[in-house]
Structure 1
Amino acid sequence: MGRAGVSVERLVAAAAEMADEVGFENVTLSALARGFGVKDASLYSHVRNLKELRTRLALFAGGEMIDRIAAAVAGRAGKDALAAFAGAYREYAHRHPGRYAATQIRIDQTLVADSPAMRRTAGITYSMLRAYGLDEPDLTDAVRLLRSTFHGYCALEATGGFAAPRDVDASWDKAVDALHTALTHWPREER
């Protein structure tokens, strides 16, 4: 990367690439500055600190991820939509491990509320789950179940945590089937 043209957008894009190459936890302003051929201090005119950069990266990656999920679930409902959602989620985690790790950090809720990508994530996820006839507070509980299942599976898979001879794709498909069954027979919250 050359010195010219450092911007917030280019900085976040470079951080995303770096996260996938060396891991999210290894993204630093110093390493990015070296990549741009500038001094560390010059990056502070674009971001206040590493925490802001990582937050911007999390929002960027979250936007990329929901774009892929939205494309996968378009025109689908029920189990078809759930399987497409799950598949796109897992594929993003595999292809972009550093960016995916960024999507798991805790972000200030004010920033989440102001983020079009995060609002879109909620909208697409809730829309898919409403096809199962879910309303609040069951929607929130179902979102938590899906996220913990998908993330847990992806995290274990990434670290080689599945040592049994059973094919991990077959187990994934079975987990999605089980989630569909759980969502179809969801224990409704008494109102």
Structure 2
Amino acid sequence: MAHVGLTVERLTRAGAELADEIGFDQVTVSAVARRFGVKVPSLYSHLKNSQDLRTRIALYALEELADRAAEALAGRSGKDALTAFADVYRDYAGEHPGRYAAARLRLDPETAAGSAGVRHARMTRAILRGYDLTEPDQTHAVRMLGSVFHGYVSLELSGGFSHSAPDSQESWSRILDALDALLRNWPAR
């Protein structure tokens, strides 16, 4: 018998909260069952397995992140849009490290095509249109921005910048200045 009030949405949100508390890699159906004080089998009417749960958390995180990015980008262009977009990723990772890790989960092509990841790609390309980049340079720039944002956030989350000067916010601002300059002066082939 399914526990009253348990839904896929509630289980996914609980999994996302757990990911932030204990790490995305540690989230399992068993951990979510413990959170609700129920036996694991009662969750299998809602979830197939831990991979299904992890995929749902990833989709949830991508949606949250896309909503934040869309709100931050409204009415902005150029460097303001680039900075707002980058700050959304960095802030989200700091507030929700487990969910941020979930958003990095590799999804199968069919699931990815229906996810908010498509919105992220469109927003990134919209920012780049403000820099007059065309293909294939836009794709190169999307990859560069993703690499820089994710790399910086990952190093920062692991404590990589906590014991050195200047502080990480100053470095982040300088990196965004440099990215803006690079995008405005993209090298010709």
Band the TM-score falls in, shorter-chain normalisation: over 0.9
Q: Is the 8 A contact 1:138 1:188 kept in 2?
A: no
Secondary structure, aligned partner of 1:153: helix
What does the per-residue CA deviation read over 1:169-189, in whole Å, with 9 as the maximum and x for residues that have no partner?
000000001111111111345
Kindly report which structure 2 residues correspond to 1:168-187, keeping only aligned pairs within 5 A, or say none.
168-187=168-187
Distance 2:183 2:92 in 1: 23
Aligned to 2:143: 144
Aligned to 1:82: 82
Aligned length in residues: 186
Kindly report which structure 2 residues correspond to 1:55-66, keeping only aligned pairs within 5 A, or say none.
55-66=55-66
Structure 1 residue 37 corresponds to structure 2 residue 28: no
Q: Please list every run of 5 or more consecutive structure 2 residues that lacks an aligned counterpart in the other structure.
A: none
Q: Is the 8 A contact 1:79 1:180 kept in 2?
A: yes
Distance 1:118 1:172 in 2: 24
- Name the aligned partner's letter for residue 123 of structure 2: I
Q: Please list every run of 5 or more consecutive structure 1 residues that lacks an aligned counterpart in the other structure.
A: none
Aligned to 2:119: 120
Distance 1:188 1:29 in 2: 51
Q: Is the 8 A contact 1:15 1:32 kept in 2?
A: yes
Q: TM-score, normalised by structure 1?
A: 0.93
Distance 1:146 1:4 in 2: 45
Percent identity over the alignment is 55
Distance 2:52 2:102 in 1: 12
Distance 2:41 2:146 in 1: 38
Aligned to 1:130: 129
Q: Is the 8 A contact 1:78 1:132 kept in 2?
A: yes
- Name the aligned partner's letter for residue 158 of structure 1: L
Q: TM-score, normalised by structure 2?
A: 0.94
Distance 1:95 1:131 in 2: 29
Runs of 4 or more consecutive aligned structure 1 residues displaced over 6 Å after TM superposition? none
